[in-house]
Structure 1
């Protein structure tokens, strides 16, 4: 006697259609598709940090001394930066300037130099040029760092600024000339005062064989923070004046960074984004829907295994 066959319903058709959709989505995900999107982001900043290394920066009116305190601030400043599109250069100055690091996006390069400069500046107390603070020379070499970077890599859309850490003691050079040059290049100068108004005595160097040169004869040299001069320089440079110990280092760093970044134009960039996870999610969703149309138990177990495999692939890819 013939046995009538059961008509396959629409549910079975949907089951296999969803299986095909899920399979296609997983195959597309394995191809690792990409899409180009336009992203609007705030531009980065270029900051040249200039640290005074003259003899007066060894005064201990703030702990451990002015130099080490300035280096600690530079480290905090670097830790506050996002480093996404930001770049930092480092230069030292006394009577002469000593550029240390070109503009770089690598924080490790900056921290390397800070580690080696942590205890004392490279300018020796036994040399007479150390007993002079030539900010004009420091700003000039800061400009040279910016210009050299443009020669190598072309103009940058980043907003630019100088951050000068100094006590303002024994100025020399034509500072107004250098300030005018930075203004022509749209570079703001922020000044961070290091020291106290009460000041302290500059430590005497250990002279070889006890011989004191003629330029070093005389009594102890007292050094105090020249706040008024530093405020004038910051005002002329289009920046702001800050002072260590008056507010936390991170607060000063954040205010400088935000102020400079506010002048940076928004940039539209083309970026490539991966789409594989979207196909994986679509495949997993299709498998889950197919489970609702599975009428036979073997299909159900097979479907559950497929869903588990799809989820495992999703975790592995992400």
Structure 2
């Protein structure tokens, strides 16, 4: 860490130091006079033992009071400095979870959706949450953004707790039976853009993590991938499901009436591995598959790669220093209390404490 020059946010209070300067001069004058008087006293007085007189006497009390007043005046001027620290690598990750009908298939226990949510929990537990930020979005035919980029793990776990059993897209609605990754990626970009509008550009590495089975694609995925790459966002795809697949459960239709769009044989869903691999390759990411590696290993590899693309360098931080000066003043008053002997000086001590408290209230 590199410390920059000292500056004051309230420099007018520094004029108080000018008022204290004559008091320091008076103290020096009194110290010289006392030293001279002690020498004359010892030269004219004859005693059978050698006398030792304190060099400062009660003047030390007043010097400590002046020191406390000086540090308090500096604290009122709000001293600050700029510290340059090496920025640690961070990651901005948008989690995009497929919530279409095929995610209810039970070929991975307990089903694809809940297995995906379990992975997201592990992913969140793997993050440091210092420089890392996470956003959350769901998609089927339409997208449903859930959470903007945040460093608060409690916010993410709140949504996961409420989404843990089933996706919010109902099976009775025909749009649930479609997987529109283009819309999911589009809204992922919107989450990143909104964060930049609110908080400015981030030097963190950026990535989408898509959890899907790849069943029944729609939309022009390549356009969204190119838009993401233009913004420096890579896409990691995690396949959820098996090549053996399973049957998508039928919804309970109201009054037993099946709409025209849902007529026909039950739909059998399998993991579309080849399509997902193509998406990951085109998006300059990687393809992973649930249960082929542990969730922790997948999460670590993704996080490390995304952090590796973050911009590192010196980051400036403003550091308030007035607390240190107030602490120095408190120490000076404490030492003054230790050397004082007279009751009047103790009252001065109380007045100094009151003044220090008033200064503390003024700067906070």
Q: Report the TM range for the smaller structure's normalisation.
A: 0.7 to 0.9
**TM-score normalised by length of structure 2:** 0.68
* Alpha-carbon separation, structure 2, partners of 1:7 and 1:33: 46
Q: Deviation of residue 184 (structure 1)?
A: 0.8
Between 1 and 2, higher relative CO (CA 8 Å, sep ≥ 6) is seen in 1
Alignment counterpart, residue 235 of structure 1, candidates 266, 270, 281: 281
- Do the aligned partners of 1:33 and 1:276 also contact (CA within 8 Å) in 2? no
Alignment counterpart, residue 244 of structure 1, candidates 290, 294, 299: 290
Q: Deviation of residue 206 (structure 1)?
A: 0.6
How do 1:147-226 and structure 2 match up within 5 A? 147-226=193-272
Name which of structure 1's ranges 181-190 and 239-248 shifts more when overlaid on structure 2. 239-248
How do 1:2-13 and structure 2 match up within 5 A? 3-6=47-50, 8=52
Equivalent residue, structure 1, for 2:97: 51
* Alpha-carbon separation, structure 2, partners of 1:148 and 1:46: 13
Q: Deviation of residue 103 (structure 1)?
A: 1.5
Q: Deviation of residue 64 (structure 1)?
A: 1.1
Q: Deviation of residue 226 (structure 1)?
A: 1.0
Equivalent residue, structure 1, for 2:3: none
Equivalent residue, structure 2, for 1:259: 305
- Do the aligned partners of 1:192 and 1:241 also contact (CA within 8 Å) in 2? yes
Name which of structure 1's ranges 153-162 and 48-57 shifts more when overlaid on structure 2. 153-162
Aligned length: 286
Mind listing any 5+ residue stretches in structure 1 that lack a counterpart? 288-318
**Cα distance per residue 1:251-295 (max 9 Å; x no partner):** 211111110000101142325276859x88xx8xxx9xxxxxxxx
The yes-or-no answer on 1:140 pairing with 2:197 is no
Q: Deviation of residue 221 (structure 1)?
A: 1.2
Whichever of the two has the greater Rg, that structure is 2
Alignment counterpart, residue 272 of structure 1, candidates 294, 307, 319: 319
Match of 1:101, SS state, is: strand
* Alpha-carbon separation, structure 2, partners of 1:214 and 1:174: 27
Measured on the aligned residues, the alpha-carbon RMSD in Å equals 3.4
- Do the aligned partners of 1:39 and 1:271 also contact (CA within 8 Å) in 2? no
* Alpha-carbon separation, structure 2, partners of 1:264 and 1:243: 25
Q: Deviation of residue 155 (structure 1)?
A: 2.1
Match of 2:149, SS state, is: strand
Mind listing any 5+ residue stretches in structure 2 that lack a counterpart? 1-45, 336-364
